[in-house]
Chains A and B, each alone.
Chain A
Amino acid sequence: MRKKVIFRGAALPYLLLMPQMAVTLVFFFWPAGMAVWQSTLRQDAFGLRTEFVAFENFLDLFHDPIYLNAAWNTVIFASSVAALALGAALFLAVQADKQIRGAGVYKTLLIWPYAVAPALAAVLWLFIFHPSIGLVGRGFGALGIEWDYRVNGGQAMAMVIIAAAWKQVSYNFIFFLAGLQSIPSSVLEAAAIDGARPMRRFWTVVFPLLSPTAFFLLVVNLVYAFFDTFGIIHALTRGGPGNATETLIYKVYVDGVQNLNLGSSAAQSVILMIIVIALTAIQFRFIERRVHY
């Protein structure tokens, strides 16, 4: 039941809205506005002179091979993280949805990684993949595989993808499990009686009914891979070796904080902002249309 409160006068409702408005303005709109403004400026190396250059920062970026490389890295990284995190989570959720002994423990354990801070997660993975002290790293060595993510860019990319996906599996798992549990059991029973084997039931009934959930998670995972993986990359590889694991968000940090090229860094932030706005818009447009119930 919804309760409707009617205020006398307009002052009180505005007053009650103020804190939320203030937080949004100060912490979201102001910095975003500043970034947009900054992206049109260029400073000299010592920060003494600032000039207005309009879109030049953006144009420079699109001709910068390092930036284009970071963009390509991001495409590889984000699609791999999303595919891995979604695939693993869906597989685990399907297993957890079966009637199994200790299902509660199993589900709880799967949710834990989400509570691990990105930097800690990175350290955990370091201990696993480190060539001289890591379990898997030494295992590779014993098998005669030359494993050193500090020199091999491909291996470094694989490692950050695995670490980043691992953190997101829990989140996806919860949504997939809820999605699976909302499918009426009688529909699956009807499919079984219609002669569909478990694999066929999954692909023709379960998966189509999960597709709204999967689509929502795909967008969330892309946003995560684009924006929330700075900590993991920073702790694991610092974007290296070379620029092999430098993604767009990491380059924003490198150019802005390390290289102090504020104009370019702000322009990169604005591009990322446009990407996230686009993803969110797609999300809102499609999610409401594709629900079956």
Chain B
Amino acid sequence: MTTVTGPATAADEPAAPAPPPPARRAGGRARAALGFAAGAALLFGAAPLVLSDFRLALLAKYLCVAMVAVGIGIAWGRGGMLTLGQGVFFGLGGYAMAMHLKLADAGPGALPDFMQLYGQLDELPWWWRPFASPWFALPATVLLPMVVAFGLGSLVFRRRVRGAYFAILSQALAAAMVILLVGQQGTTGGTNGLTDIQGFFGYDLDDPVNQRTVYFLIAAALLGLLALARQLIHSRYGELLVAVRDGEERVRFLGYDPATVKVVAYVVAAGMAGLAGALFVPAVGIISPALIGIVPSIEFVIGVAVGGRATLLGPVLGAVAVAWARTALSERFPGTWTYLQGLLFVLVVAFLPGGLASLWALRRTRRATPDRPPWWRRVPPARGGRTRTEVPAA
């Protein structure tokens, strides 16, 4: 299903067990396909027509964040793993792509500009060399994060580290990666990161037409990831993942290994974040430690929480809404926008614990039971709709 979204996503197929869906879901499938088509019409038809080049470039950036959010939706919303360190995988993907593009800009045999300035190197460091080849760099943007996530996930989940401990561990990883990158200024660009990326596989990124193509590429990748995520959620594996979230011990006694189930979700989320990072680079033209540290990692999660973590579309809508609100508020109120943004988060958490996606469910329940008391007099039901979610202690 995702093979048509271009070479960038072709490598994104994890070994997801996807048994043929039961026939009773056929109606749901058609509805999903219709929604998918509507989303494509919006992203490919309406958005480029309505938005200026500048706004479209911003939307491309938001959609990259949304791709990370799809992954967090799977790992956290369905799997109960509060991944506070997705910036690491976003960064691995982004740096892999940026390294290739910097080398391509510099031309064969030449060093990227920042290395000549800060590195005083005579030749390319060995770990940069493979990235000169697109055949290595492109798969690496997705596979590298997945490999790291697999290694880490295997260690952590086999030892039954979970909840807040896992959240803290993943966050520490983000902090460690930033320190590593900043310390190696000569070979990583330090705090500046990799900037001033001119071309994207031979196409000039300054050209608005090419920027638009990059946007289309990102929109297509997002749709592809959504399709993949839906497939995963509705598969037997998806049911197992929710079961592990809601009762890990019970699943273990049923004969499954919860660690494996969790590792798969974590690896998929990492791959999605890596792809998002890789596409972020041509869209925005920069990757730097400031984009992958603790704060941006938490911001990824905030978007998902605002949108509704346990649903398919919630994380995407939340991520785009939060990023858009950030831009809109900061343009209108440059001095006070941070307070307004904070207020928004407080309101969502206080009154819509299931996220924006729960608005839809709320409307449906109200229609079904007209004599229900209004929300301000109601005792909140179990979080996130009908499923119980594991919220690690903060």
Task: Indicate whether A and B interact.
Answer: no
> Which A residues lie at the B interface, using CB under 8 A?
none
> Which B residues lie at the A interface, using CB under 8 A?
none
